[in-house]
Amino acid sequence: MINRKAILIMPLVAVLAACSSPAPKSKSANLSRAAQVNAQLGSGYLAQGKLEYSKIKFEKALKQDPGLPEAHAGYGLLLARLGQIEDAEKHFKRALRKDPYNSETLNNYGTFLCGEKRFEEAEQQFMSALKDPLYKTPEFAYTNAGRCSLKSSNYDRAEAYFGKALQSNPRFPDALYELAALNDKRRNYRVANSYIQKFDDYGTHTPDSLWLAIRLAKINGDKNAQASYELLLRNKFPDSEKAALLRSKGGKRLN
């Protein structure tokens, strides 16, 4: 549809152009705004798992504004999801060249590096993200640093990072779950159970978190809680691997 309002203001733009020639600047500003919108749409589609639509939007954003850091950062996440590792890293680096102190990008790049088993480099990115006193969600970077420490089998460091995440946000469910799982691994079952109960209050259960909750309830002799968690797993995730394991084992062995 033709934008009649745009047509109506064209003569005024033409008059002003004779004096100060703002039209190219206006066009550039419009492209920049459009690029930001497309980058946001790309991130939204990526969060929904609609990778094809996400790719279209990020590529359009980068065509409109090749230097837009959030477009490079988002496209890096998408490419990593698609397994295009080298290209993903290039876009993360371009984003950080343009905006080197962006905590969200640093956190995401750290997560990417951890996935590539570049643990020390990943930790550096997480710590860089946390240097920003205005970072609104440091619990994300601390939790990702903890998960990365788990991957490198450094359990003490992981526990410390998860603890710092909870200092930043005592209700952060990801850190609560990780501490429950870590203490379960260390056979600190009562401590693990206290974390999974807090997770109950603030998190949204997955098949893995329910499986852990069932296991801990069984170990701690809480039959009512065990039955409740088992029912929730069967009803909410009937097709999951954990529900199948529960059916096959009858709840007798929960490893």
Rounded Cα–Cα distance for residues 107 and 123 (Å): 9
- Cα 106 from chain centre: 12
Residue type, position 178, single letter: E
pLDDT tens per residue, range 168-191: 999 999 999 999 999 999 999 999
Position 28 scores a pLDDT of 80
pLDDT tens per residue, range 102-160: 999 999 999 999 999 999 999 999 999 999 999 999 999 999 999 999 999 999 999 99
Whether 101 shows a pLDDT value over 90: the answer reads: yes
Rounded Cα–Cα distance for residues 143 and 147 (Å): 6
Position 27 scores a pLDDT of 73
Q: 4 or 93: which carries more pLDDT confidence?
A: 93
Where are the extended beta strands (E) located within 118-203?
none
Name the CA dihedral angle for 104, 108, 114, 119, rounded to a multiple of 10 degrees.
-30
Residue 8: pLDDT band (50, 70, 90) is: very low
3-state secondary structure 104-138: HHHHHHHHHHHHCCCHHHHHHHHHHHHCCCCCCCH
Residue 165: pLDDT band (50, 70, 90) is: very high
Q: How many helices (H) and strands (E) does the chain have?
A: 14, 0
Rounded Cα–Cα distance for residues 93 and 61 (Å): 17
pLDDT tens per residue, range 199-252: 999 999 999 999 999 999 999 999 999 999 999 999 999 999 999 999 987 645
Rounded Cα–Cα distance for residues 46 and 30 (Å): 24
Q: What is the largest CA-CA distance in the chain?
A: 83
Q: 173-255 domain in CATH 1.25.40.10?
A: yes
Position 16 scores a pLDDT of 30
Position 24 scores a pLDDT of 52
Question: Running DSSP on this structure, what letter comes out for residue 252?
Answer: S
Residue 12: pLDDT band (50, 70, 90) is: very low
Choose among 40, 39, 16: nearest CA to 26.
16
Position 255 scores a pLDDT of 52
Residue 193: pLDDT band (50, 70, 90) is: very high
Position 25 scores a pLDDT of 57
The full set of domain ranges for the chain reads 173-255
Position 20 scores a pLDDT of 46
- Cα 220 from chain centre: 33
Rounded Cα–Cα distance for residues 157 and 207 (Å): 26
Over residues 62-80, the mean pLDDT reads 97
Residue 49, classed as helix, strand or coil, is coil
Name the CA dihedral angle for 73, 75, 81, 85, rounded to a multiple of 10 degrees.
-80
